Amino acid sequence: MQVTIDKNSGYCFGVEFAIKMAEDEMENSDRLYCLGDIVHNDMEVKRLREKGLVVIDRDQLQSLSDCKVLIRAHGEPPETYKTAIENNIELIDASCPVVLKLQHRVKTAFDKMERENGQIVIYGKKGHAEVIGLTGQTLEKAIVVMEDSDLDKIDYQRPVTLFSQTTKSTKGFYDLSEKIESRIKNTKGELDELDFNANDSICRQVSNREPQLQKFAQENDVILFVSGKKSSNGKALYQVCLAENPRSYFIENETEVDPEWFRPEDSVGVCGATSTPMWLMEQVKNHLESMEENLLQD
């Protein structure tokens, strides 16, 4: 059995940057607060918790003062920075540069839409950390859409500016964009350039994973996709693998591997989400190799 780790899998730049900042800070401190899970992977959260990273939520942030709090790669709304100033909290800001740039674009577009009686629409998951940061730029007026049923929230008589959560599917974004455009045409009879402005704000480091994973899934007999169950990016990318290779399995760690999935002659590909650490994929690879050794000895 030949086992290969996908060289394109593992942390995106933003997550890697945030974890490095957290580790550097904890070298000089035995406790660092983090607003939400630093990454949607329980194994990595557990590893960092043992180093002194304490995960808190927004309610807990209100009661903290005179301490350090890490802002993870997903970014935060303006309200978080206001709370930090009021409570004398030092923020270790690990917001992804791609997300920060998008927040600025959303804020600029919102100010324009306010003057033109328009609407900001965000293609993303309601309640997702990044989306909370984006809607915060719009005084919570942005309309968050993901399913077709969400499109009923939009007023098609008014101008629409569309953005996307950086980790969403490119295909999903353009499908949604076409549906909004079609509804504007049906409502107004025509589409003026001022009626609709679609901004593809998906991170290319994330979107490029789809064609890379398609190829990787085709090249291997079995795919083990390693990801935390809370990762929306993980769920989406696993479906990419499954569409190309029916012998694809979603696991959180090596303990979920079933020997019945494999044949001795199989080539096995190990890959993961943008929130999956490389050390965890290596752990799965090592487990597979030791499992094969045990089978040969038996």
CA distance 218 to 270: 13
For residue range 86-145, what is the model confidence (pLDDT) as tens digits? 999 999 999 999 999 999 999 999 999 999 999 999 999 999 999 999 999 999 999 999
Q: Which domain holds residue 220?
A: 2-9+207-297
Task: State the DSSP H helix or E strand holding residue 32, giving kind and residue range, or none if neither.
Answer: strand 32-35
220 and 129 belong to one structural domain:
no
CA distance 16 to 239: 24
Which residue, of 151, 184, 201, is where some domain finishes?
201
Question: Quick one: angle between helices 13-26 and 42-49, nearest 10?
Answer: 20
Give me 71's structure tokens. Answer: 């802002």
Q: Which of 86, 92, 88, 81 has its CA nearest to residue 66?
A: 88
180 and 105 belong to one structural domain:
yes
Q: Which of 260, 296, 253 has its CA nearest to residue 44?
A: 253
What are phi and psi for residue 115, nearest 5 degrees? -70, -25
196 and 104 belong to one structural domain:
yes
- CATH of residue 78: 3.40.50.11270
Summary mean pLDDT of the chain = 92
Q: To the nearest 5 percent, what fractions of the chain are helix, strand and coil? A: 50, 15, 35
pLDDT of residue 294: 62
Other C-beta atoms lying within 10 Å of the C-beta of residue 141: 12
Number of domains in the chain: 3
pLDDT of residue 161: 97
Q: Which of 130, 105, 122, 114 has its CA nearest to residue 35?
A: 130
CA distance 143 to 138: 10
Which residue, of 74, 95, 116, is where some domain finishes?
95
181 and 227 belong to one structural domain:
no
79 and 131 belong to one structural domain:
no
212 and 269 belong to one structural domain:
yes
pLDDT of residue 298: 46
Order of strands across the sheet that contains 196-198? 143-145, 119-123, 160-164, 196-198
Residues 6+ away with beta carbon under 8 Å from 278:
5, 9, 10, 11
155 and 197 belong to one structural domain:
yes
pLDDT under 70 in the chain at which residues? 293-298
3-state class of 123 per DSSP?
strand
pLDDT of residue 121: 98
**Report field, pTM of the whole predicted structure over 0.95:** no
Q: What are the residue numbers of the active site?
A: 130
Radius of gyration of the chain (CA): 22
pLDDT of residue 295: 55
- CATH of residue 193: 3.40.1010.20
